[in-house]
Amino acid sequence: MPQKAFNIRRNPKVSMLFSEPTGSGIAQPGAVLIQGDATAEDRIVTDLSSDPDLAALMETVSGRQPAGAFWSTRLGRRIGWPYYIRLLIYVTPRRALYWPTRDFTTTPSELDVSEVRRVG
C-alpha cells in the first residue's frame, strides 16, 4: 500500500523498531531501533528479482512465513493483486540503538550506523 510512501514524501524522518522475534529462530533476542532518513521511489517494482536486496528480503520473508505463498496462487493473485506490486523505500540510518535483552527500561547501547548498512 502506498501510504508509507506518501508519509515519507511528506516527512522523511522515520524509525524502525525490530523487537518481535517470532519466526526469527533467535533463542535470546534483543531489540534494535533504527532512526533515519527515508526516500520512497516513484518507480513501481513488479519483479522482485530485479534488485538483489529486494530478492534477499523476499527470500527471508518467504522462508520465515511460507504461508505467504498464498498471495501468488491463482486465488491469491485475484483477491490480493497489489501484494507483489511495490514501491521501494530506502532508509539511511542516522542512529541505531540496541537492547540486548528486550528490556526497554534499560538504557540501550548505541551502535555504529556503518555496521547496520545491511541487515539480513
Partner 1 sequence: MWDEAAKWLDKFPEAVLTAIDRDGYPVSYRVPTSAYNKSSGELPVPPGPVDVAEGPAGLLCHSHDEKMWNLQMITVVGALDRRDGAWIFRTESFTPPSKMAVLTFVRNMRRTAQKYLDKRGLMRPQVNWSAIKEIQQRTKG
Among 21, 29, 30, 84, binds partner 1 (CB under 8 A): 84
Per-residue contact track with partner 1, 89 to 108, x per CB under 8 A? -----xx-x-x--x-xx-xx
Residue 15 to residues 21, 43, 66, 68: CA-CA distances in angstroms? 18, 23, 27, 25
Judged by CB under 8 A, the number of residues near partner 1 is: 49
The x, y and z cell numbers of residue 82, run together, are 497489489
The alpha-helical segments, DSSP class H, found in 1-120 are: 3-10, 52-64, 74-79
113 binds partner 1 (CB under 8 A): no
- 64/115 with CB nearer partner 1: 64
Q: Kindly state the cell numbers that stand for 73.
A: 496462487
Cβ(86)–Cβ(16) under 8 Å? no
CA of 93: how far to CAs of 45, 54, 70, 105, 109, in Å?
23, 18, 33, 23, 15
**28 touches partner 1 by CB under 8 A:** no
The site string for partner 1 over 44-83 (x = CB under 8 A, - otherwise) reads x-xxxxx----x--xx--xx-xxxxxx-x----x-xxxxx
Q: Which residues are near partner 1 by CB under 8 A?
A: 1-3, 13-17, 19, 23, 31, 33, 35-36, 44, 46-50, 55, 58-59, 62-63, 65-70, 72, 77, 79-85, 94-95, 97, 99, 102, 104-105, 107-108
